[in-house]
Structure 1
Amino acid sequence: MDSTSDITVGQVVKSRAGRDKGNIFLVLDIIDDKHIYIVDGDVRKLDNPKKKKITHVIVYNTVFPELKEKLENGAKINNAYIRKLLEPFKIEL
């Protein structure tokens, strides 16, 4: 199974292992077919993303294409913007 095909930059994921288990993150970057960088704008800020194995996250169907666009266009995004995107998911918990 190729796990990178169903994961994309700007996608919402939930950690299923490690210290951050149960937390919601956004995929900031895809390193290779096994690892991604994730951020939540709070504990894991944009300047210090968490490297995570793809097998250690639950992938949500929600993707924020505007985040991917901003990253590709080199637009400035900040941690508050990431927190704002993730707000509806944090309420679920």
Structure 2
Amino acid sequence: MLSNDLSVGQVVEVSAGKEKGRIFFVVKIIDHEYVLISDGKKRKLERPKLKKVKHLKRFNVINNKVKNKIVSDQTMTDAFLRAELTKLNLFI
């Protein structure tokens, strides 16, 4: 899976590593192989997790509120990320 399949604000599930099975938002695309992910709970925005794209299962859900805040450099809180994941009923 290539990063051009992913978008900022997209919901992903980790398929390998300590966070296996947890749901996150993509907060930054580094290159074709790596992205930064955060959920606002265990992985906060100050320290997002660097993850290989091949270790992520992507959902066809892109949260436009999260995407717009990231793209426009608006301040975003961990509570906001948690709330948006909870609204999707995917939060684990």
Assess same fold via TM > 0.5. yes
Matched residue of 2:66: which SS? helix
Q: Distance in 1 between matches of 2:66 and 2:85?
A: 12
Superposition TM-score, scaled by structure 1 size: 0.92
Offset at residue 67 of structure 1 (A): 1.2
| AA partner of residue 62 (structure 2) | V
Question: Runs ≥4 in structure 1, deviation > 3 angstroms?
Answer: none
Q: Distance in 2 between matches of 1:77 and 1:49?
A: 13
Q: Distance in 2 between matches of 1:5 and 1:49?
A: 20
The sequence identity of aligned pairs, in percent, is: 38
RMSD, aligned α-carbons? 1.1
Q: Distance in 1 between matches of 2:7 and 2:64?
A: 9
Gaps spanning 5+ residues in structure 1: where? none
**Which structure dedicates a bigger proportion of its chain to helix?**
1
Which stretch of structure 1 is more off in the superposition, 41-50 or 70-79? 70-79
The match for 1:6 is 5
Structure 2 matches for 1:27-66, cutoff 5 A?
Answer: 27-66=26-65
The match for 1:67 is 66
Matched residue of 1:89: which SS? coil
| AA partner of residue 89 (structure 1) | L
Offset at residue 52 of structure 1 (A): 0.1
| AA partner of residue 26 (structure 1) | F
The match for 2:90 is 89
